[in-house]
Chain A
């Protein structure tokens, strides 16, 4: 029977009391009135020394006895049939252990330059390369298309052959996804056309690749029928499950280990072809195989953020109320899917009528993969600029206009307020492009929207030993966000110890099920399980202490420093004295993340960022002077971790706004910049001062109340910058990356 708990929930100190049913075994959720020692404070990550001393071992560093080296041979052509593979020369090379084809039957098609054709494994990396050079592959080249606009044309080469594909692959432009499901284009058009004001504009954004600093890769090792995979992944269990499916082996026979991993941003969720190839090579060669991709392979084949061509239409009354929002978008995820950009248009503002229509377009390019808030940064870039345009058109302040049109989102309202004040919004000149001189300053803002995602079922196990030590195990991988630190903080909080007292082992599917680090769900999905486990452990210890002190369990409390005492403080025992009496020397409890205790109605995560820029109208260069970011993430766990996510999200946004661009040569279909020199990502000099503010949003929906923040932080950055640029120069930049030449082009049109 669940008990009823009274909780104080709300935004910051603006709290209301609600009653929530809580299962008996669970602690009372932390709420707005709980002042905690660690939770919500700034705690440096507890694995910091591992990383700064080089002791952290990544998949890249794994070396197991007998290990050999895998290598993938990829198609140099964007579209072709593989007609012949002759690996006889390579097979003769001593030390070459296995050569496999991606498909057994010849011929088979390849649809992008960089697609896997053959994989082999040899004793050294050099030898593998030498062998690869000896494999002769014949291709029958086919017409191809790598450009979004070209692919949409009537007579464009088809990326998928209609005769041997599923129904929805028969043309390059897939049927649009319509929102709402029964939505009609005519209906929204009618609303927009009858509005006092209507604005329509078209935007383009580029393809961005993930570029984690550790490239993708695995080490696969078979031991009889059992398989161990060291993987640089965001989802240990996802890799395990997909490999199990692919090879039809029991999940229980596969172990995936990810102790440290060098970033993923969405591209390391799936097991992907390279993992399957490594596993297969290892089985054939009967030796462990290491297969790490090169930077170039990473760019070509491991995913990307699709580009977009978006037309946004917004209607509003002369009083400044949005009447209708329409988005029509096209984008290419290469041979994959998922180029939609409609999130921001659908869910940020309270418009009467909203309609979005998103179409994926196939091209001969590597498939996309979820990339930090898929669809949203590019969606926000287009949509939030159109909103800005409308505000100026009506003659309203862009912030005012936004406040007026998102009244239902109380959290967002609080964020506007903090942001405006911290940024000094009112000090800005309301007129765009008003500043004299060559270098012009501007200020702008943009909203972000993301979703509260978690999946129930994660569990962790916690052990307390009779020497007083505490260990927690979870299968979760740390993608870099630093989940281990909040885990330690939570246990420390509950057991009145220090975070550094807690030994945490993660990154192994032999431990409890954990969330995949995607969708910003790790913290929301895992921390309640951790707290629940710590709470159970605490009950066990209180019981032991009560027995030792010969009082009722209700009479005993645990306080700072791990001290057990009776309520009247007459009797006291320290942590070690109590744990020393643990029967059999150890106990273990588990904690599980169940469904939320109640339906909070808050399914979204808000956020707003303000940018100040300087634009040099002679060189077209834009400098971001400062950013102010306000985000919510439920009850904040470790503020340093959260700030770090926000800083990182903003820099990725800046990098996306100005530099990153995957360029495919139209004539050859090959990527021109598959490196980190010409594919540029932001560096230390591109960092503006960043001020971040986090809303304390207590909902009491789980025992910790945590919600993620990783993705939201990168959504509005490019849009806020673009709005600031408009404010500076009075000209809209509707294309990304906003390079000097794009800016100059826009300026010369004036």
Chain B
């Protein structure tokens, strides 16, 4: 059955299928060895669950399709009902599980993800850890479980398995967490009962001084199992669905040519919802998350290149102390569970009017790299986003990287966001601002990019012009507010009324001024 993806909200606004990145990423821990393997398409997926290799052959196993979510898969098993569903939309974390991935260093790296957003093929080659796996074989509770018991960390307990899994990922991470890290690790878990106080306490109790747990003891065994799983390209076909996981960019471009209406995903944090909520069938999917060439961050002389399939978590780690505004923005973007899945390419490909990333990338003067079979081209992000959920990416292209020039000394780049809650919010109004001052406090160059103010992320060109060449003063900035108002007619929706948005944008600008002014 062939269905043109016109029922697909993204494509409905776009003459071309839009790339959806944003998912589980294997790099930098992906064994190099596998890249050299000859391409042979495999029809089944394998992963480690309960200490054994579990395989699903979609040709045989009719209960599941490639777009069955890991949550629904787990809930269909007799012994994994601990994983709960609170929203099925990536907002509550009740479904949190941890994925173990084999790294370059031969160690297993653990990441919390929302299982309601993960499609089964994304498990391929990984270890799936659920709440049922946490107790040690001798029945003692894992330190994070014990701490949750001791601090009275549950009331109704429905959120608890998810919370415990988030704490477990924190426990297994390399850091010695601060209060801030703890809050961040929990930012994807909603609890309606306890007020989080005892949960935070449990994290402090268990995750600050860590001991070895049975996962450390078992690591070698699990690594061996994971190495046994061949990381071929996958071509998963069921009655009405083709799900491809190519291993190279070339392969993806070929597939794209063959299936021009296919949906391209890489992380799929919002695509999963189309299956679980809208019951869309998504007949063809190309999942880019297995392409190691699309992952990683490299530091060049004058810029940093972030491959499109790099997860936001990795970028956040990298940006710390390097790209301050980017780091700050990613800290309030989604939750760990989502950042571990979502990729930068996927995010900008949606060209969402309310994304946080695009405005900031504009402030950074970022460029987007698009590849096709024959050539590579670079576009300024302003030219890449062409309209409401529209981008300049052509049908024969893929987004391959984002390039961020290293900011010049004495320039300022800031990110501000105006919204109700800090976490898990598609922000109401966000601003990515760039400022370079000349002598005598004159504005030499300024970029003011806003999300949530127009149908797509846009710079306030007129306001910029109004400010350029003049003194960076309160008065001038205040006056600029009126230009700003004229320049934008904000979209009005549930988040904040038109008036509120203008006011918010003006205040963000004032805030920028007050944090960058020279007295």
Contact = CB atoms under 8 A, between A and B. Distances in A.
Interface of A: 44-45, 47-58, 60-61, 126, 129-130, 133, 211-215, 260-263, 265, 294-295, 438, 478-482, 618-621, 640-641, 643-644, 646-652, 658-659, 663, 672-673, 675-678, 680-687, 690, 737, 739-741, 744-745, 748
B424 A212 contact: no
A44 to B, nearest CB: 5
18 contacts: A48-B149, A48-B153, A52-B146, A58-B158, A211-B192, A212-B192, A213-B159, A214-B156, A263-B158, A648-B155, A676-B86, A676-B87, A676-B424, A683-B423, A685-B422, A686-B422, A687-B197, A741-B497
Interface stretch (B40-48, B309-317, B508-516): B508-516
Interface string B142-164: 00011011111111111111001
A442 to B, nearest CB: 20
Given A641-B152, A684-B187, A685-B423, 17 more contacts: A48-B148, A54-B132, A58-B84, A213-B84, A213-B159, A295-B86, A648-B193, A675-B89, A675-B91, A677-B424, A680-B420, A680-B425, A684-B200, A687-B195, A687-B197, A737-B420, A741-B497
B157 A618 contact: no
Contact of B81 (A47, A52, A54, A686): A54
A683 B197 CA distance: 11
A479 B156 CA distance: 6
A648 B151 CA distance: 14
Residue with the highest number of chain A CB atoms closer than 10 Å, among B86, B424, B500, B503? B86
B493 interface: yes
B207 interface: no
A682 B424 CA distance: 11
B31 interface: no
B92 A684 contact: no
Contacts of B419: 740
Contacts of B423: 683-685
B3 to A, nearest CB: 16
Given A262-B157, A683-B186, A672 B421 contact: no
Contacts of A60: 84-85, 158
A581 B224 CA distance: 58
A409 to B, nearest CB: 26
Contacts of A262: 84, 156-159
Contacts of B158: 58, 60, 212-214, 262-263
Contact of B500 (A478, A480, A650, A745): A745
Interface string B421-434: 11111100000000
Contact of A53 (B135, B190, B421): B135
Contacts of B493: 672
Interface string B475-519: 000000000000000000111110110011001101100100000
A622 to B, nearest CB: 11
Contacts of B94: 213
B131 interface: yes
Contacts of A47: 157
B89 A51 contact: no
Contacts of B469: none
B91 A44 contact: no
B501 to A, nearest CB: 8
A687 B494 contact: no
Contacts of A44: 149-152
Contacts of A480: 154-157, 193
Interface of B: 81-89, 91-92, 94, 130-132, 134-135, 141, 145-146, 148-161, 164, 182-184, 186-187, 189-200, 279, 416, 418-426, 493-497, 499-500, 503-504, 507-508, 510-511, 514
A214 to B, nearest CB: 4
Contacts of A685: 183-184, 187, 422-423
B156 A261 contact: yes
B514 A438 contact: yes
Contacts of B130: 54
Given A619-B418, A744-B504, A650 B160 contact: no
B504 A53 contact: no
Contacts of B199: 684
Contacts of B494: 663, 672-673, 678
Nearest 10 pairs of A and B residues by beta carbon: A54-B82, A262-B158, A480-B156, A647-B195, A51-B157, A741-B500, A48-B149, A54-B131, A651-B195, A480-B155
B87 A618 contact: no
B1 to A, nearest CB: 15
A690 B130 CA distance: 32
Contact of B421 (A45, A130, A647, A686): A686
A676 B504 contact: no
Contacts, number: 239
B421 A680 contact: yes
B421 A740 contact: no
A54 B89 contact: no
B110 to A, nearest CB: 18
A438 B511 CA distance: 10
Contacts of B279: 126, 129-130, 133
Contacts of A482: 152, 155
A466 to B, nearest CB: 28
Nearest to B279: A129
B322 to A, nearest CB: 24
Contact of B183 (A56, A621, A684, A744): A684
B119 to A, nearest CB: 16
Point out which of A640, A686, A737 has the most chain B C-beta atoms below 10 A from its C-beta: A686
A619 B505 CA distance: 9
Contacts of A677: 89, 91, 424-426
A51 B160 CA distance: 6
Contacts of B88: 294-295
B284 to A, nearest CB: 20
Given A619-B511, A676-B91, A481 B155 contact: yes
B155 A49 contact: no
B156 A260 contact: yes
Nearest to A47: B157
Contacts of B148: 48, 51-52
A52 B193 contact: no
Given A672-B494, A676-B190, A53 B152 contact: no
B81 A619 contact: no
A682 B494 CA distance: 18
Contacts of B507: 618-620, 744
B195 A648 contact: yes
A623 to B, nearest CB: 10
A671 B504 CA distance: 24
Contacts of A133: 279
A737 B419 CA distance: 12
B89 A676 contact: yes
A61 B424 contact: no
Contacts of A52: 141, 145-146, 148-149, 153-154, 160-161, 164
A683 B189 CA distance: 7
A54 B96 CA distance: 12
B412 to A, nearest CB: 17
A619 B91 CA distance: 25
Which of A646, A683, A739 has the most C-beta atoms of chain B within 10 angstroms of its own C-beta? A683
Given A52-B141, A677-B425, A680-B425, A618 B420 contact: no
Given A54-B81, A213-B190, A740-B504, A45 B152 contact: yes
B152 A748 contact: no
A644 B152 contact: yes
B148 to A, nearest CB: 5
Nearest to B510: A618
A659 B149 contact: no
A685 B416 CA distance: 18
Contacts of A211: 192
Nearest to A738: B420
Contacts of B187: 683-685
A687 B196 CA distance: 7
A53 B131 contact: yes
